[in-house]
Amino acid sequence: ILNVEQSPQSLHVQEGDSTNFTCSFPSSNFYALHWYRWETAKSPEALFVMTLNGDEKKKGRISATLNTKEGYSYLYIKGSQPEDSATYLCAPAEGYQKVTFGTGTKLQVIP
Amino acid sequence: NAGVTQTPKFRILKIGQSMTLQCTQDMNHNYMYWYRQDPGMGLKLIYYSVGAGITDKGEVPNGYNVSRSTTEDFPLRLELAAPSQTSVYFCAIQGPTEAFFGQGTRLTVV
């Protein structure tokens, strides 16, 4: 089981602000990293799957970067909107089956 | 194409009762997972399967059993339910480029 840390635990931002959060994980035996968006009372929704050092992925106003050598990934949200309010989970994997979820960063966007 | 389907959505069990949480996928994924999510905690892996006939324990397997007789189905069995098993359970499939979760089962053991 990997030691996965996400920071901050929670975050309040004003509508229109840009924000970012961090996922830290052990860099050895890295296989892939998943980012999920999880709204209350719903199931987690996959945002990105990243595998290569230096990977950058983008989906609308949300983007992510990956550094496997130092063991971190950043998730960025540009121009936050109220509908971005959710918990953002990262899940690094040592292999297909060895996936560990972080406890998430809970984002609240204030209109 | 329904993705990952979990049933039931809600269930209340009495201590000592048993039940099976059903998970079915129609995406032909080999890798299937069961997680539980406790209040204020992250998702913890209970069991996983890398293909029909192959299952293995995750981080918190005690009190649970699984089977994988087909690619499509991955049921999770609770034997002798305990209050500590009160949680939200998610079934998921995860591959190199995609991942899908079921809608979740909210289980309360009283």
Taking residue A23's Cβ as centre, other Cβ atoms within 10 Å add up to 26
Helix or strand (DSSP H, E) at A37: strand A32-38
Token pair of A111 as six digits: 């209109």
> What per-residue confidence (pLDDT) applies to B108?
96
B-chain CB neighbours of A34 within 8 Å are: 94, 99
A51–chain B Cβ distance below 8 A for any pair:
yes
Q: What is the pLDDT of residues A19-68, one digit of tens each?
A: 999 999 988 878 889 999 999 888 889 899 998 999 999 999 999 999 99
> What per-residue confidence (pLDDT) applies to A103?
86
Composition of chain B by helix, strand, coil, percent to 5: 5, 50, 45
Closest CB to A43 among B50, B56, B102: B102
A-chain CB neighbours of B105 within 8 Å are: none
**d(C-alpha B10, C-alpha B105), whole Å:** 5
Helix or strand (DSSP H, E) at A50: strand A45-50
Beta bridge partners of A7: A22
Half-sphere exposure for A37 (CA within 13 Å, toward CB): 15
B-chain CB neighbours of A101 within 8 Å are: 35, 42-45
Partner-chain contact A34 B99, CB within 8 Å: yes
> What per-residue confidence (pLDDT) applies to A26?
87
Average pLDDT, chain A: 91
Q: What is the pLDDT of residues B28-38, one digit of tens each?
A: 888 899 999 98
> What per-residue confidence (pLDDT) applies to A96?
61
**B2 Cα to chain A: minimum distance (Å):** 14
Nearest Cα neighbor of A31 from A62, A71, A89, A65 is: A71
